[in-house]
Amino acid sequence: MALQIRKSDEGESVERTGAAIFEGGAVHGRELIAGGAGRDFSASVLQFSPGARTRPHRHTSDQLLYVVAGIGKVGDADGEHVISVGDAVLIPADTEHWHGAADTTSPMAHISFLRADSQTTVSG
């Protein structure tokens, strides 16, 4: 496989608000690594409007979130945590969790890294 560069003006930001995993407000996403282009992992940037977040869910692989804008929250069975620009969150595989702008009154954007073959299950 050859080196690939995806320029910042390439790719499309897609509204994902209606997807079953999201609630509370508008969510837009853009793949950073086009589907199937990477053998080992996938990456997307997700933008959450104030109040928007994921529903509780889990992935079959670890997930790494890296906050690139705004203030958000991430939560699991042990509680919730405020996250902001520069914060990184490692969520172990099969851990029920949620993340987004939640009730911070600020929009938030993060990059999500998952194993390429990871499956997501939305709870309830």
Task: List % helix, strand, coil for the chain (3-state, nearest 5).
Answer: 0, 50, 50
What does the pLDDT read at residue 7? 85
What are the tokens at 118? 């990871």
Residues 6+ apart with CB under 8 A from 16: 22, 27, 28, 29, 46
**Model confidence pTM above 0.85:** yes
Tell me which residue of 76, 77, 87 sits closest to 110, measured CA to CA.
Answer: 87
Q: Is residue 109 part of a domain?
A: yes
Q: Which CATH number is 102's domain given? A: 2.60.120.10
- H or E segment and range at residue 99: strand 97-100
What's the whole-number average pLDDT of the chain? 92
- C-alpha distances in angstroms, 16 versus 27, 51, 70, 87, 89? 5, 15, 19, 23, 22
Structural domain total, the chain: 1
Q: Per residue in 80-120, pLDDT tens? A: 999 999 999 999 999 999 999 988 899 999 999 999 899 99
What are the tokens at 85? 């620009």
Q: Per residue in 29-79, pLDDT tens? A: 999 886 667 788 899 999 999 999 999 999 999 999 999 999 999 999 999
Q: Which domain holds residue 18?
A: 14-119
Q: Is residue 53 part of a domain?
A: yes
What does the pLDDT read at residue 8? 82
DSSP 55: P
